[in-house]
Structure 1
């Protein structure tokens, strides 16, 4: 079986919270470098699990992946059927009423949370007849959790994210003003909802924007630095090394460049 990668949009009611679902099927061995993407994820491994060398561990069969600030490889020995729910940055806490800050630089075994509803969902998804049935189960569970949840600070943080995505050089102080919060309140609310402090998350957004520009053929690093809100080209190169483990030149030589945050998987 060749690598088969499929993406699906959520139902209309979940569109504000879930960006998309993706499903990976393959019998081939995988060894892929991944970068901080800015989106938290629920991950269900129905067969072989991914091994993360940087964490020296396998992902759990059902795991929650929070915001990370380091590159990492995912490896597998084949026979993969993985389903991933990609949430918008500030949405997972709204649906599950948990602070995403608890998952900073972590991939947590979802069963360890002791949430009976989530545990039952994981059991159903992992034992579903096929991935189509599993997606339906996920949607039903998320819709029921959404009905029970409080939409606390969801809109405030959402407005600040919209501004950040359109203006990569916007200050945290300005984001706080847009959210009608003090800087200290905004830092606390943003960290709880998104899982990363505003300043650090802004740097992930800049990096992802640089990937999007390179993905679309831009090789002028000075222009990329300016367009993404970096202080200068050297700043861009340092941040690229921080989040990808290598320089932009080497990155372009070694693998296809793709921005999870700004490119459409469809």
Structure 2
């Protein structure tokens, strides 16, 4: 299996955190199951080889996913299965890119996975047709042109909440809502309303998700302990840490950090 990330061009860096590629082998006899965890950002995804089915419910009912589409900011984990060789090209987006790209509030797309054609009509269909048969360099060029057209003409002046979202990500979910509102000269109510529109969630829930994400950075640290991870990530006690981790990943943190899981298998072969 191959997983790698690619830095975006400088002009898109305020909106795109990274491009990424995931490729692997699977078959009917040896399917690959992938688990996505809660995430404060969104992803534009293209299944250029193979297609995943989503597993839902206790009976693991299977629903075919899109060929290309958006995985909105999400507060819960999801599971997917593929039974053939696969290739995915992704664009990891700050959540506030969604309203600029698709003229929809981020909270309308949170925990949703609409197809690109459903969001962008013929324009999305054309992008899908360009990306699927291309090589990775061409994919980046096609997607960059699409994003530049949509984002760079509509983002100025940048709303203060964009910086607030980036600060929460940078500070790993430790910022206080009132302090952020004061920083950007907004009332708490106005800040929370704008924040939800551009991030997909309330500031409090968004900060919890980002704090959970920050803990995952220690996945490959052989010296990790649950207590150290909890306090280093801003949790007041281990019980809150365990509760959030189970809510956002479906795993007890001990299972996640010290065993190979559906959520971490692809990281074993990460390259840059």
Q: Identify the TM-score tier after normalising by the shorter chain.
A: 0.7 to 0.9
Residue in 2 aligned with 1:88? 94
Say if 1:233 and 1:109 are closer, same or farther in 2 by CA, change over 3 A. Answer: same
1:166 and 2:171 equivalent? yes
Counterpart pick for 1:13 among 11, 14, 28: 11
Distance 2:63 2:240 in 1: 32
Counterpart pick for 2:187 among 162, 182, 188: 182
Tell me how far 1:76 sits from its aligned partner: 0.8
Asked if the contact 1:225–1:232 (Cα under 8 Å) also holds between the matched residues in 2, the reply is yes
Asked if the contact 1:17–1:88 (Cα under 8 Å) also holds between the matched residues in 2, the reply is yes
Output aligned runs, 1:212-251, within 5 Å.
Answer: 212-251=217-256
Bigger shift: residues 241-250 or 213-222: 213-222
Q: TM-score, normalised by structure 1?
A: 0.86
Q: TM-score, normalised by structure 2?
A: 0.84
1:75 and 2:81 equivalent? yes
Residue in 1 aligned with 2:122? 116
Unaligned runs of 5+ in 1: 259-263
Distance 2:110 2:180 in 1: 21
Residue in 2 aligned with 1:261? none
Unaligned runs of 5+ in 2: 265-269
Asked if the contact 2:165–2:199 (Cα under 8 Å) also holds between the matched residues in 1, the reply is no
Say if 1:163 and 1:207 are closer, same or farther in 2 by CA, change over 3 A. Answer: closer
Output aligned runs, 1:122-201, within 5 Å.
Answer: 122-126=128-132, 128-151=133-156, 153-163=158-168, 165-166=170-171, 168-201=173-206
More contact order relative to length (CA 8 Å, sep ≥ 6): 2
Tell me how far 1:23 sits from its aligned partner: 1.8
C-alpha RMSD over aligned residues = 2.5
